[in-house]
Amino acid sequence: MKFGVITEHQPSEARVALSPASAEQLQKLGHECVIQSGAGAKADFADDVYRDAGVEVLDSAKAVFDAADVVAKVRPPSEEEVEMLREGQTLISFFYPAENEELMKKAAAKGATLIAMDMVPRISRAQKMDALSSMANIAGYRAVIEAANNFGRFLTGQVTAAGKVPPAKILVVGAGVAGLAALGTATSLGAIVRAFDVRPETAEQIESMGAEFLFLDFEDTEGVGEGGYAAPSSPEFREKQLALFREQAPEIDIVITTALIPNREAPELWTEDMVKAMKPGSVIVDLAAEKGGNCKMTVKDEKIVTDNGVTIIGYTDFPSRMAKQSSTLYATNVRHMMADLTPEKDGQIVHDMDDQVIRDSTITHKGEVTWPPPKRENP
């Protein structure tokens, strides 16, 4: 089969769904690879690097859609891209079906198969395809780098001939994949790191990474939702949590917020009075900006400085800001999906809807919308 990758249509998106290394692995599975000219340029993969890896470079997205049996990209497809799909063809990308139902129906009507990388079930066997985690890991790392770059002091403490510098104090709110990556990065840069999450099991993870878990005296099951995710907090819990943060605000130099609850607006956890209580020069990076922000002063995709000198960063494209790294990891996630779709390593796609990982990721197949996937008792 032919596997093709196109250039992302948003000018701000620098990632690409094929790396030279993943192309070589795909060929070992028996697939030929094609790519749109220039697709990897912003991720530092020039056309010639792909050619050297055995990839054929084609002139346009249309040429890739015409040639390939499976097309892959990073972001959800545009209307025009869905228009180019044909019966029996497969498209692999992030899709967020709940937000793109019309587009999904259109692809189903065309008889195309859509595989949504954001629907890969978060079970151990599927970790190698878990692009949400590989991208969240990059976002957490980059959030700290971005904060450090906007903070006027060292993160680590120092005693030098020129004076004593205290270590920066960083608070990470939400210790999921991005939060844990952020606190790991922050501790390795020498900051004093504190973290909080509503899921009690995160305490051990936070402490094992050298950070302090901020303890809240409450029922253990309060924040636990389905599938390892968080549930909305009760008003009493929220009040206690805000009181805890209010105490921290005057002392903390950098806050990284990552708190999300599936299918909801991000909870407001860093309130305006907390921002006002922070010292001038402090920095907030709100990784929940895409979902409305954990801080309501956050402006999506922008960096602002408040009247009291606090920088609030609301960028939503952290993985794209490290395009070579994120493309390499995303391309590996996609390549693993292709490996599961090619069980005999003979270049033949077997779309096994009895396989949980393939079933749950498939949102349209054989003319039907197959989203949402069936509920399972033990996912």
Active site residues: 122, 127, 130, 133, 229
| Shortest distance (Å) from residue 136 CB to ligand NAD | 6
Question: What kind and span of H or E run contains 4?
Answer: strand 2-5
Smallest gap from Cβ 176 to ligand NAD, in A, equals 2
Q: Are 326 and 320 in contact (CB under 8 A)?
A: yes
How many helical (H) and strand (E) elements, i.e. helices and strands, does the chain have?
Answer: 12, 17
Residue placing its CB nearer to ligand NAD in the complex, 41 or 224? 224
- First-to-last alpha carbon distance for the chain, in angstroms, is 31
Give, as ranges, the residues between 237 and 296 that touch ligand NAD (CB under 6 A): 258-262, 267, 269
Q: Tell me how many residues contact ligand NAD (CB under 6 A).
A: 30
Smallest separation, CB 127 to ligand NAD (Å): 5
The residue among 28 and 376 lying less far from ligand NAD, judged by its C-beta, is 376
- Measuring CA to CA, which residue among 290, 295, 240 is closest to residue 270? 295
3-state secondary structure of 28: helix
Q: What is the dihedral of CA 103, 267, 122, 324, to 10 degrees?
A: 70
For residues 274 and 349, what is the distance between their CA atoms, to the nearest angstrom?
Answer: 54
ω into residue 343 within 30 of 0, thus cis?
Answer: no
Nearer to ligand NAD, 261 or 310 (CB): 261
List the one residue from 200, 229, 321, 325 that touches ligand NAD (CB under 6 A): 229
Cα-only R_g, the chain: 22
Is residue 120 part of the contact set for ligand NAD (CB under 6 A)? no
Shortest CB 278 distance to ligand NAD, Å: 18
Task: Using the rule CB under 6 A, give the single segment among 5-13, 29-37, 105-113, 126-134 that binds ligand NAD.
Answer: 126-134
Is residue 136 a contact residue for ligand NAD (CB under 6 A)?
Answer: yes
Q: Which two tokens stand for residue 63?
A: 């040429």
Q: Which is nearer to ligand NAD, 133 or 364 (CB)?
A: 133
Q: Which residue is nearest to ligand NAD (CB)?
A: 176
Q: Which of 2, 75, 122, 128 binds ligand NAD (CB under 6 A)?
A: 122
Give yes or no for residue 230 binding ligand NAD (CB under 6 A).
Answer: yes
d(CA 357, CA 43): 28
d(CA 68, CA 25): 17
Residue pair 258/176 in contact (Cβ under 8 Å)? The answer is yes
Strands 283-286 and 56-58: unpaired
* Residue 318 is a binding residue for ligand NAD (CB under 6 A): no
Site string for ligand NAD, 167-186 (x = CB under 6 A): ------xxxxxxx-------
Chain Cα centroid distance, residue 47:
26
Interface map 188-227 toward ligand NAD (x if CB under 6 A): --------xxxx----------------------------
Indicate the residue among 228 and 367 with the shorter CB distance to ligand NAD: 228
Q: Which is nearer to ligand NAD, 23 or 119 (CB)?
A: 119
Phi, psi of 295 (to 5 degrees): -120, 125
- Phi and psi for 285 in degrees, rounded to 5? -115, 120
Minimal distance in Å, beta carbon 200 to ligand NAD? 10
296-301 long-range contacts, CB within 8 A, separation 24+? 296/268, 296/271, 296/272, 297/272
In the bound state with ligand NAD, the residue whose beta carbon lies nearer, of 35 and 198, is 198
Q: Minimum distance between the CB of residue 282 and ligand NAD, rounded to whole angstroms?
A: 20
In the complex, which residues of this chain contact ligand NAD (CB under 6 A)? 122-124, 127, 130, 132-133, 136, 173-179, 196-199, 228-230, 233, 258-262, 267, 269
